[in-house]
Structure 1
Amino acid sequence: MCCKTLHRKQMSLQACLDECMEALDLFLNNHFSESLDKLRPRAKESMYHALIYATVLEMQAMMTFQQDDIVHAGNTMKNAQESWREQLHAEVCYAECLLHRAALTFLQDENMVSFIKGGIKVRNSYLIYKELHAFVQSDTTFRGPNHKHLEGGVSFGIGAFNLTLSLFPARILKLLEFAGFSGDKEFGISQLFTGATSHTLRSMLCALLLLCFYTFLSFILGNCAGPAVTWGLHWGAIFLFFAGRAEEIKGNIDEAVALFEDGCKAQQAWKQFHHMCYWELMWCFTFKRHWKMAYFYADLLSQESRWSKAMYVYMKAAYLSMLSETESRPFGDNEVDLFRQVRTYKQKIAGKSPPTEKFAIRKARRYRASNPIRLPVPVLEIMYMWNGFSIISKQPELTEGMMETLLEAERTLQSAPENEYSVDDTCVILLLKGLCLKNQGQMQAAEDCFRQIYSSEKKLKFDHYLVPNALLEMGLLYIDTGRKEQAIHLLQKAKNNYKEYSMESRTQFRVHAALTKLKADTSEQDEKTAL
């Protein structure tokens, strides 16, 4: 190939990258239709146009959960993948397409075949990224004008795999390692950070994944520590959302509410962004115990969002049940009727019902009775599942408010006749009281609450998740008070002795995060001692 022809191809690639960067800028500044219009005409002739076009469609599909959107995004990604296989840029695009298609495959079908197909795509993508990473690291002679975009693509893939795989509990990770996978959290974060700050085509994806990790995954899994997340927060609605989430987990609820509201105002084209903000606004008003405002956002979600109507209806009923019997119910709704409707909205994603829906349906079951026994604090129980007690720990008045609610529920429960739910309901309140007491620095009182749950293990009839979670919380309390050996013993017991309870995977992830942190802290201490 002559130099003139090679130069023309490089210029053509440069033009494609420049136009795709412009399209991404439009997307990030809320001009979603204009972004797709810029990408669509060349999606069948340019690998980067095809990839970014399909990626934007995928983001839409993952927010809507509409089958047509999922199929359209999957087909577009497949076309993008099959069109280009001639050079290194094509290799990284191909691997990225496989990764996105695997995610869409999990959403699209409802049988085990989809999991196998998705797993094959993931493995093939992983192997390509490993080879490309090795090449980029070893061959320093190949440094064309667009090399930074190639490196950015590799950083995204290698970072995404390492970070994601590192979060899995040990028993799952062993199976993955047997299949050739491995995960190093710190290495994954460093790769994504490099990609996010390098101003390449994948910077947005790297930044989004890091933002998701620090403001959602690591928080919900109980490992809240992390650097300040500021990449790209000047961008449009989606980054206003993450800025709000960052304030929320710091306990700055009013600031978070303002940012989520700004995120809703910033654009009107994609209502799915609004739904993300509504969900967080619902929790912000929950932390402030503004039950009717929280109900308002749960109601909006139940009407507009397709993510989990069962969960939204459950939350509506839960908020109404927090009101006194004399308070008026918005829109004439009734919590008993709503609780009875929850199971009718059950859905399956990739062949399985989401664990949160299973939990909601199980909890609402008692309302099928003609004279149902009400749940004591259903909102606070779900709030625990999303690690909300860590958020209110940042503001003492929020914890004080929750403690008032719990003490009132406890008094009501103690004055009521004993029934088949009495022990379970008492232990729910004990778990949540223990968390509030821990937030207030009353460690012994908190420990006593968790111990009472453990001693009630054989008396529990329904809420078997309470025991492993009480052990987890007592283990975390021991970590905070310097009793590491006892903490390890309790965490191992929670990890190994309990199976098939509600929200098990979430508890197992949190146990894994705590044990990993203990191991890391111990290693650091050993190094300091050696020095």
Structure 2
Amino acid sequence: MDALQYGEPPTVSKQYSPELALADLPAIKYAAALFLNSSMIDSENYCLSVDPRKERLYITSGYSLIQCLKALLSFEQNDLRVANEHVQHGHQIAVKHRAPAPPILSRVAGFVWDNATSGVSLLRIMTPAQRHAELLFAETTFAKALLGVICSGNWLSFLSEALSFRTMINKYLELGKFLECMDAEALARGEGPIDASIDNDFRSGVELGVGASNLILSFMPEKLLAVVEIFGYKGNRSVGLKKLMDIGGWSTPDSEPTISFAKGGLRRGLADICLLCFHLVISTITFRGVDIAMAQTILEWNLKHYPNGVFFLLAQGKLRVIRSQATLAIESYEAAVKAQSQYRSLHYVSFWELAISNMAVWRLDESLKYWEYLQAEATWSKACYSYGVAVCLLQLGGDQYAKKAGDLMKEIPSLVHKIAGKSIPLEKFVSRKARKFQQQKGRLILPALEFSYVLLGMDHAPPTVIEHTLLPSVNEALADVEANKARRGFWDDICLARLLEGVCYRFLAYPDEHAEKDNIGIGARKPSLASRAEAAFLKVIEDGQHLELDHYILYNAYYELGRLLVAMGRVAEGRKHLECVVSGKRLEKSASTRKGKYSLESTLVLHATAALEALGN
């Protein structure tokens, strides 16, 4: 079924029994196509119309997973509560459709002998509908645990819910092993490479679970990964990516998928979204396995089939950001807003990206507009949204703006919230900056540019904007700081301005490797620009010993200098600076200058680890 032409909804029998559960697959595929092409409410209503009693395996489970996604996007307490109820019910429906549990004596014997009750053997004797129920049991277990973690108020609740993730991964490992065995036997019979008797809807779900599990576990630190692998869990990124690619029949960026749209499994769209998230979003904290060209191929193919698909329009925006095409990215995000009006919470994702992208091209009035939308409506992080409004107002200037910004800064520390008992790092950062604003009697240096840097907006600012807009702003701020050396916070101000100066010069000399070339005559000036960047970072490292509050600046200077030196070909020196960040050692000469972690420490360590990982490859 092509998403461009839905046609008539599939006919669903009014009579239902667990044995006929798979007869509903065309219906849930229809609902999924509606959802992926931004007809979310139509998708929900269709599910409710064909399963008013909420008893059908695929319809009920699918509807509950839609509610889970809606709640995660809005983060509204009521949405989370309703989603949790639907997911719990969907999970129970999956449990009811599973094969009967084997007798207790057989299960005990299964620990010793490989009989019919052990994993793969038990799956062999199940009906196809029962195997699908096992798959949906894993999917709803994941959704139930995810909602539980978000709603849990303390670490004890968090750990309790986290055990469900173990159950989910174990089930996917079991299903994956079953597929491997069946495919190997088909190959041995000369009928391979895969067992054609296993439907693509089941196969796509298993490979999605196994692939995503491998991908997620691959981000664990090596020491921790070595421990979990003892218990049979794998964190092989290459395997994870291949599993996700196989679902759609993807191979290389310059080739069409070997599996047509019509023959794709039910979870194909989700697998492609996972791949796009990895290559376009998670790529900010890793290099290994990232393939931007492959992401572009997957994206273009999906946009042909889902031209109004908000998820793919958002991915298009991310791709354009990576290419440093901020203006085009803004067009994609605006198109994502226009694509649907049914899930207002999806607009908030676009507004967030629009706020950052407009900062990148220094359209602060436009950025302000989207921060204000978020502040007024969204609930994910009121502290960050309010801070975005405040820094844009401060940077735009004017007494009226300053008064409003000051009022917001007073409020921000009280807006910080916790997930699973832990504060969100970015919220802790903006809270600290808001308190600093109060301590300095209503003053911050380059607040909007600093926020853009923290949100990675500066990383993808067009070179023309960096040279003709951002650098002049930094130079103006430097002159102001130098003229007020006796002012409170001098060392923090001068170090921040120098850091941002160095970042500007670094990205002029060495733009992101995926950025579209911006012909402003950088070539001949590259050595000079790189030298200025190095001098700025070295000055921050020298003066950073005097930092009072913003200790993160010193550590970021080490990171930025490391990236710069690697780009200049001085790899050993660059590695040394990156390793300083990853080591966790204090870089301040005096241990008494900082208490606890510096702002956004975990995020910076992730970036530095990824940079070292790239050197290893």
> What's the TM-score, normalizing by structure 2?
0.77
Q: Aligned partners of 2:454 and 2:225: how far apart in 1?
A: 23
* Corresponding residue for residue 324 of structure 2: 251
* Corresponding residue for residue 482 of structure 1: 569
Between Structure 1 and Structure 2, the one with more helix by share is: 1
| Residues 233, 242 of structure 1: 8 Å contact kept | no
1:354 equivalenced with 2:451 (yes/no): no
1:323 equivalenced with 2:403 (yes/no): no
SS at match of 1:322: helix
CA drift at 1:205 = 1.6
* Corresponding residue for residue 341 of structure 2: 268
SS at match of 1:232: helix
Q: Aligned partners of 1:201 and 1:320: how far apart in 2?
A: 47
* Corresponding residue for residue 490 of structure 2: 422
* Alpha carbons of structure 1 residues 470 and 181: separation in structure 2 relative to 1, 3 Å: farther
- 1:65-84 CA-partner distances (Å, limit 9, x unpaired): 11222222223222222323
Q: Aligned partners of 2:367 and 2:536: how far apart in 1?
A: 28
Q: Aligned partners of 1:21 and 1:11: how far apart in 2?
A: 19
* Corresponding residue for residue 301 of structure 1: 374
* Corresponding residue for residue 413 of structure 1: 481
Q: Aligned partners of 2:141 and 2:227: how far apart in 1?
A: 21
1:283 equivalenced with 2:349 (yes/no): no
Q: Aligned partners of 2:455 and 2:224: how far apart in 1?
A: 22
Overall identity of the aligned pairs, in %: 28
CA drift at 1:63 = 0.8
Q: Aligned partners of 2:563 and 2:28: how far apart in 1?
A: 46
Name which of structure 1's ranges 26-35 and 271-280 shifts more when overlaid on structure 2.
26-35
* Alpha carbons of structure 1 residues 489 and 16: separation in structure 2 relative to 1, 3 Å: same
| Residues 14, 146 of structure 1: 8 Å contact kept | no
Name which of structure 1's ranges 509-518 and 215-224 shifts more when overlaid on structure 2.
215-224
Structure 1, gaps ≥5 residues long:
1-7, 521-531
* Corresponding residue for residue 70 of structure 1: 80
* Corresponding residue for residue 375 of structure 1: 444
* Alpha carbons of structure 1 residues 221 and 467: separation in structure 2 relative to 1, 3 Å: farther
1:226 equivalenced with 2:292 (yes/no): yes
| Residues 275, 305 of structure 1: 8 Å contact kept | yes
Alpha carbon RMSD of aligned pairs, Å?
Answer: 2.5
1:123 equivalenced with 2:131 (yes/no): no
CA drift at 1:456 = 2.6
For residues 4-15 of structure 1, the aligned pairs below 5 Å read: 12-15=20-23
- 1:2-39 CA-partner distances (Å, limit 9, x unpaired): xxxxxx99993443111110001111222212211222
For residues 507-526 of structure 1, the aligned pairs below 5 Å read: 507-520=604-617
Name which of structure 1's ranges 475-484 and 119-128 shifts more when overlaid on structure 2.
475-484
Q: Aligned partners of 1:276 and 1:71: how far apart in 2?
A: 21
CA drift at 1:178 = 5.5
* Alpha carbons of structure 1 residues 17 and 92: separation in structure 2 relative to 1, 3 Å: same
Q: Give the structure with higher Rg (CA).
A: 2
> What's the TM-score, normalizing by structure 1?
0.89
| Residues 102, 117 of structure 1: 8 Å contact kept | no
CA drift at 1:167 = 2.4
Q: Aligned partners of 1:427 and 1:178: how far apart in 2?
A: 46
Of 345, 370, 378, which aligns to 2:415? Answer: 345
SS at match of 1:440: helix
| Residues 47, 90 of structure 1: 8 Å contact kept | yes
| Residues 339, 367 of structure 1: 8 Å contact kept | yes
CA drift at 1:342 = 0.9
Of 112, 128, 131, which aligns to 2:155? Answer: 112
Of 235, 250, 254, which aligns to 1:183? Answer: 235
- 1:120-149 CA-partner distances (Å, limit 9, x unpaired): 111111111112112101213494666211
1:502 equivalenced with 2:502 (yes/no): no
SS at match of 1:284: helix
1:46 equivalenced with 2:143 (yes/no): no
Name which of structure 1's ranges 271-280 and 340-349 shifts more when overlaid on structure 2.
340-349
Q: Aligned partners of 2:199 and 2:457: how far apart in 1?
A: 43
Q: Aligned partners of 1:316 and 1:178: how far apart in 2?
A: 48
CA drift at 1:49 = 1.7
- 1:232-277 CA-partner distances (Å, limit 9, x unpaired): 2342222222212221221222222222212111211111111111
Q: Aligned partners of 2:432 and 2:223: how far apart in 1?
A: 27
SS at match of 2:569: coil
* Corresponding residue for residue 81 of structure 1: 91
Q: Aligned partners of 1:390 and 1:186: how far apart in 2?
A: 27
Q: Aligned partners of 1:264 and 1:37: how far apart in 2?
A: 22
Q: Aligned partners of 1:372 and 1:513: how far apart in 2?
A: 39
SS at match of 2:419: coil
CA drift at 1:156 = 1.0
Q: Aligned partners of 2:178 and 2:231: how far apart in 1?
A: 22
Letter of the structure 2 residue corresponding to residue 57 of structure 1: Q
| Residues 492, 547 of structure 2: 8 Å contact kept | yes
1:216 equivalenced with 2:226 (yes/no): no
| Residues 169, 509 of structure 1: 8 Å contact kept | no
* Corresponding residue for residue 491 of structure 1: 578
Name which of structure 1's ranges 309-318 and 434-443 shifts more when overlaid on structure 2.
434-443
- 1:453-492 CA-partner distances (Å, limit 9, x unpaired): 2223331111111222221212212221223322322222
Structure 2, gaps ≥5 residues long:
1-15, 100-129, 187-193, 250-258, 510-528, 587-595
Q: Aligned partners of 2:38 and 2:199: how far apart in 1?
A: 28
| Residues 220, 387 of structure 1: 8 Å contact kept | no
Q: Aligned partners of 1:474 and 1:225: how far apart in 2?
A: 25
Q: Aligned partners of 2:558 and 2:230: how far apart in 1?
A: 30
Letter of the structure 2 residue corresponding to residue 403 of structure 1: L
* Alpha carbons of structure 1 residues 114 and 144: separation in structure 2 relative to 1, 3 Å: farther
* Alpha carbons of structure 1 residues 123 and 215: separation in structure 2 relative to 1, 3 Å: same
Q: Aligned partners of 1:72 and 1:472: how far apart in 2?
A: 44
Q: Aligned partners of 2:337 and 2:395: how far apart in 1?
A: 27
CA drift at 1:117 = 2.2
Total equivalences in the alignment: 508
CA drift at 1:289 = 1.2
Q: Aligned partners of 2:534 and 2:485: how far apart in 1?
A: 28
CA drift at 1:177 = 4.2
* Alpha carbons of structure 1 residues 225 and 148: separation in structure 2 relative to 1, 3 Å: closer
* Corresponding residue for residue 4 of structure 1: none
Q: Aligned partners of 1:478 and 1:263: how far apart in 2?
A: 39
CA drift at 1:165 = 2.1
